[in-house]
Copies of this chain bind each other. A is one copy, B any other.
Amino acid sequence: MKTVNKSEIFDEKKTSAIVEELQPTLFDLIALGLIIKQAHWNVVGPNFRAVHLHLDEIWALVQEDVDTVAERISTLAVSPSGQAHEVTDNAQLTHIPLGFLRDAEVIDLMTDRMSTVCHNIRERMAKIEDTDTVTADLLHQVVDGLEKQLWMLRVQGM
């Protein structure tokens, strides 16, 4: 955590505890967003259109989550970080292969990456459940949206 200003909401210790879970979540979500766009542009195969459109809907959801999480960090008077090199160094998410990708392969890759992000956020969320119910509720909603999309991806791979 870099610059901590004095916040009117919590003392510094509590603030740090919360942001320690939010900042890595932000890195993961930004990386996920870029992976989704990569797939959106590179998917090929008979289901191209359905997958292409579906990925853009998930991207819009993830982009909204990115803003929600970053602005919650700012709300707690800590500076959020999200530029390319920081994301590359810190996101806990394997990138996907370069080049065109067949539609079925895209479904598998996305199911895997989305699942990883959901598990990561659930673990972090558990740690602050009692520290700040307001932040916890924000993460519940992030997870709820991502898990619903996970279902929609998962059943396409069955």
Tell me if B54 and A158 are in contact (CB < 8 A). no
Q: How far is the CA of A137 from the CA of B125 in the complex (A)?
A: 14
Residue among B77, B82, B91 making CB contact with A154, cutoff 8 Å: B77
Q: A41-B74, A137-B141 are contacts. A30–B84 as well, Cβ < 8 Å?
A: yes
The verdict on A144 contacting chain B, using a C-beta distance below 8 Å, is yes
Which chain B residues border A102 with CB–CB below 8 Å?
158
Q: A37-B70, A144-B138 are contacts. A125–B133 as well, Cβ < 8 Å?
A: yes
Tell me if B46 and A104 are in contact (CB < 8 A). yes
Interface string of A132-158 (1 = CB under 8 A from B): 011011101101100110111011111
Which chain B residues border A151 with CB–CB below 8 Å?
71, 74-75, 77
Tell me if A133 and B138 are in contact (CB < 8 A). no
Interface string of A65-106 (1 = CB under 8 A from B): 011001111110101111111111001000110111011100
Q: Name the residue of chain B whose CB is nearest to the CB of A133.
A: B140
Q: How far is the CA of A155 from the CA of B78 in the complex (A)?
A: 11
> Which of A41, A96, A129 is most buried by chain B, counting CB atoms within 10 A of its CB?
A41
Other than A34-B87, A85-B88, give 13 A-B pairs with Cβ distance below 8 A. A2-B99, A3-B100, A8-B115, A9-B118, A38-B81, A47-B47, A49-B50, A71-B148, A74-B151, A74-B155, A84-B95, A100-B155, A137-B140
